[in-house]
Amino acid sequence: MSKPRILFFGYSEVGYECLSLLLERGDNVVALVTHEDNPHEKIWFKTPAQAARERGIPVFTPESVNTPEWRERIARLQPELILSVYYRHMIGTKLLALPRLGAFNLHGSLLPKYRGRAPINWAVLHGEPRIGMTLHRMVKSADAGAIVDQDGVDIGPRDTAEQAFRKVLPCARRVLARQIDALLAGTAKERPQDDTQATYFGGRTPEDGRIDWTRSSAQIFNLIRAVTDPYPGAFTDVGGARLMVWWAEQDSAATSDRRGRPGEVLSLNPLVIATGDGALELTKTEWRAAPVPELQVGQVLESTAPTPPAS
């Protein structure tokens, strides 16, 4: 008896790990649908295309799978199960209805929290102490389907988004390993999400790294660690120049006499900037300009009004 036909949609190292698991098991993966690498994005992770090509699995990179042409091509593959792991585009309901065993997604949060894009970065930005991976049924709304399984891990208050990603990565493989046989048999148990507890966050762009110095020191520090290398980074503008802030520390003197207006330069060596409730010492910075401007004590760096997060 032939094994069920799996159509795998995926990207990122999570996609690589999960596709590798299926191929190691000898599951019948008929094709990979993925993305071309973005030349403007730092590719610091493995991608599932590597695993697929090593095993001779067909790799497709359509701009959209929801066109009539691509729906027809996918229908000809006769998928019996669709698995999506960090695939960045929405898969339409007509495609989700094709496989007899259903369509399931592995999402990088403990749903129903942090539905949407870049969940790990958002979780670090909000100071979450625990993150995880959730396997759920795919429905019309993003990340809203019934939960099959999830697994989580604690992260530290100084972990960067990449460090958090590395900690949570094994959760994806564990969840899929626990559930793949039930998915292929059509016997996986599901429980609905509690929509009253759901939060949704959109994709992040480099501009979202702009520092608002009116925020608290803790909030600014969380932003820095959420977007530091290999992500685009936090920054503040000084005239026409841009100062990238790759790391910072709480200023030890901020609670005594070193207070100022948000964004005010309190010290040059070390570089200390006032925040909404204290100050941060900027310990790893990089100027994106030439010539480099000369900062002055008492100078106030540009800031932006707070943007409320999506919910």
pLDDT surpasses 60 at 309: no
* DSSP states of the chain: -PPPEEEEEE-HHHHHHHHHHHHHHT-EEEEEE--PPPTTS---S--HHHHHHHTT--EE--S-S-SHHHHHHHHHT--SEEEEES--S---HHHHTS-TT-EEEEESSSTTTTEES-HHHHHHHTT-SEEEEEEEE--SSTT-SPEEEEEEEE--TT--HHHHHHHHHHHHHHHHHHHHHHHHHT----B---GGG--EE----GGGGB--TTS-HHHHHHHHHHH-TTS--EEEEETTEEEEEEEEEE-TTTTTT---STTBEEEETTEEEE-SSSEEEEEEEEE-SSSPPPP-TT-B----PPPPPP-
Which strand ranges, in their side-by-side order, compose the sheet holding 28-33?
Answer: 59-60, 28-33, 5-10, 81-85, 103-107, 130-137, 147-154
Cα 207 to chain center, whole Å? 16
Measured distance CA(206)–CA(104) in Å, rounded: 30
* Phi-psi region at 140: left, alpha or beta (left = phi > 0; alpha = psi -120 to 50): alpha
Q: How confident is the model at residue 304 (pLDDT cuts 50, 70, 90)?
A: low
pLDDT surpasses 50 at 12: yes
What residues contact 288, with CB distance under 8 A and at least 6 apart?
Answer: 235, 241, 242, 243, 244
Residue with tokens 């989580």: 152
C-alpha closest to that of 280 among 237, 232, 216, 226 = 216
pLDDT digits 0-9 by tens, 84-129 = 999 999 999 999 999 999 999 999 999 999 999 999 999 999 999 9
Amino acid sitting at position 284: K
pLDDT surpasses 60 at 305: no
Do 207-287 and 5-201 fall under one CATH topology?
A: no
Is the distance from CB of 292 to CB of 241 less than 8 angstroms? yes
Measured distance CA(59)–CA(266) in Å, rounded: 54
pLDDT digits 0-9 by tens, 23-73 = 999 999 999 999 987 777 777 788 999 899 999 999 999 999 999 999 999
pLDDT surpasses 70 at 7: yes
pLDDT digits 0-9 by tens, 196-251 = 999 999 999 999 999 999 999 999 999 999 999 999 999 999 888 899 999 999 87
CA distances from 80 to 6, 181, 186 (A): 6, 14, 10
Is the distance from CB of 138 to CB of 145 less than 8 angstroms? yes
Q: Tell me the whole-structure pTM to 2 decimals.
A: 0.91
pLDDT at 255: 47
CATH topology of domain 5-201: Rossmann fold (3.40.50)
The tokens for 226 are 């959420």
Looking at 137-141, 155-159, 289-293, which range is the least confident one?
Answer: 289-293
Percentage of the chain lying above the pLDDT 70 cut: 95
Q: What architecture is the 207-287 domain classified under in CATH?
A: Roll (3.10)
pLDDT at 311: 46
pLDDT digits 0-9 by tens, 252-301 = 664 445 678 999 999 999 999 999 999 999 999 999 977 888 899 999 99
- Domain chopping of the chain, boundaries: 5-201, 207-287
